[in-house]
Amino acid sequence: MKIKNITYLFLLLGVMLSGNAFAQYEKMIRVQECLKAKDIKGAKQAVDSVFLSKEAQTDAQAWYFRSFVYYELAKKDRATLISPARDSSVAYALKSIKLATDAELKQSCNEIIKRHATTYLNLRKILLQDSLKYERSYTAYSNYKKLNSMIDPNADYKAFDIEYFSAAGSIFTELFSNDNSKTEYGEVGKVALMKVLDLDPKNVSASFNLGVIYYNQGVNLINSMDIDTPLDKLESIQDNSVKLFKQSLPFMTKVYELDPKNVKALESLSRIYYALNDTEKANEFVAKLEQAKQGK
């Protein structure tokens, strides 16, 4: 049933209710009036009062209306990850689906759930791109998948996970590359890119960006030390930076193996080997870089 006229549904509900049907019908009319007047709080009070009646507890239509009213209520939370109204709306829609025998009613409940999923999808973007809050963005994306799976249990998210984590990884790698004092960005980038490689071990972009992050972290350690750093401390800084350069190496080597003419990878490998004091290998990649630039 594609819901086009809520009045029809209210009338239908009126017919379906028994016992104190008339009182319940009046309350539902009140809900409708409040919604028309954009008095969402009033609609909430009215629809909640319907559930004081025992009959409403097992009424799929009533649960659908309650879900819809809470959906309207949750609109004010569009920019908020946590919304009790949104959670209630989803719970009521699920309750309705469980009780419903009518396929069209179930479809209407699914539509409400889809709308909430859309909200999470939008939040995922805002939190990642505008606010740079990866954890919260990831929660929003997870919530999207959870809701979407309620209405499409067979949905396969692998390709979309790869794209999402690649986007997150790229954003944070670039931020870290532009300002290496923001080490937290490097860490977020690593987590996201590792997830990409878990899903797609041959992902060139993720491997490259992971190589970049580890290398830049190593460079950071050296670049940020004072010129009068004592020799014992210098030894430990070298230990840690070498560790990071060595962590960078397999990722960049993988890019090179997958794409031997990748100029950025060749240039990066020459720098990594140079940082590792392996001049011979560094020069080898400088030569390969020159060849690649000449199209050989």
Partner 1 sequence: MICGVLSAKITLYNFGKYLIILLLLTGSFGFVQNIDTNAKIKAVFLYNFTRYFEWPESKKSGNFIIHVVGKNEALVKELNKMSETKTVGNQKLEIINTPTYDGKSKPHMMFILPDAAKLLADVTAKLKGKGALIIAEKDGAAKTGAAINFVVIENKQKFEYSKTSAVKAGLKTSEDFKALAIAVD
For partner 1, give the closer residue by CB, 55 or 267: 267
Our finding on whether 191 is near partner 1 (CB under 8 A) is: no
The answer to the question of residue 199 lying near partner 1 (CB under 8 A) is no
C-alpha gyration radius of the chain: 29
Contact 214, 251 (CB under 8 A): yes
Closer CB to partner 1, 22 or 160, in the complex: 160
In the complex, least distance from residue 221 CB atom to partner 1, rounded to whole angstroms: 9
The answer to whether 253 contacts partner 1 (rule: CB under 8 A) is no
227 lies in the binding site for partner 1 (CB under 8 A): yes
Instruction: Tell which one of 82, 155, 263, 287 touches partner 1 (CB under 8 A).
Output: 155
Among 12, 52, 79, 159, binds partner 1 (CB under 8 A): 159
- In the region spanning residues 230 to 249, those forming contacts with partner 1, defined by CB under 8 A, are 230-232, 234-235, 238-239, 241-242, 245-246
Give the CA count within 13 Å in the CB-facing half-sphere of 164.
Answer: 23
Q: Smallest gap, in angstroms, from Cβ of residue 157 to partner 1?
A: 8
Three-state SS letters, the chain: CCCCCHHHHHHHHHHHCCCCHHHHHHHHHHHHHHHHCCCHHHHHHHHHHHCCCCHHHHCHHHHHHHHHHHHHHHHHHCCCCCCHHHHHHHHHHHHHHHHCCCHHHHHHHHHHHHHHHHHHHHHHHHHHHHCCCHHHHHHHHHHHHHHHHHHCCCCCCHHHHHHHHHHHHHHHHHHHHHCCCCHHHHHHHHHHHHHHHHHCCCCHHHHHHHHHHHHHHHHHHHHCCCCCCCHHHHHHHHHHHHHHHHHHHHHHHHHHHHCCCCHHHHHHHHHHHHHCCCHHHHHHHHHHHHHHHCCC
How big is the site for partner 1, counted in residues (CB under 8 A)? 73
Shortest Å distance, C-beta 202 to partner 1: 15
Amino acid code (one letter) for 207: S
By CB under 8 A, the residues from 19 to 58 that bind partner 1 are 32, 35-36
Interaction between residue 171 and partner 1 (CB under 8 A): yes
- Taking residues 71 to 110 in sequence order and writing x for each that binds partner 1 by CB under 8 A, - otherwise, the string is -------------------------------------x--
Given 92, 164, 251, 285, the residue binding partner 1 (CB under 8 A): 164
CB-wise, 36 or 202, nearer to partner 1? 36
Q: Is 137 in the site for partner 1 (CB under 8 A)?
A: no
- Minimum CB separation from partner 1 for residue 18, in Å? 25
Binding segment toward partner 1, per CB under 8 A, in 17-25, 82-90, 116-124, 284-292: 116-124
Q: Which of 141, 111, 147 is nearest to 126 (CA)?
A: 141
Q: How far is the CB of 135 from partner 1 (least distance, A)?
A: 18
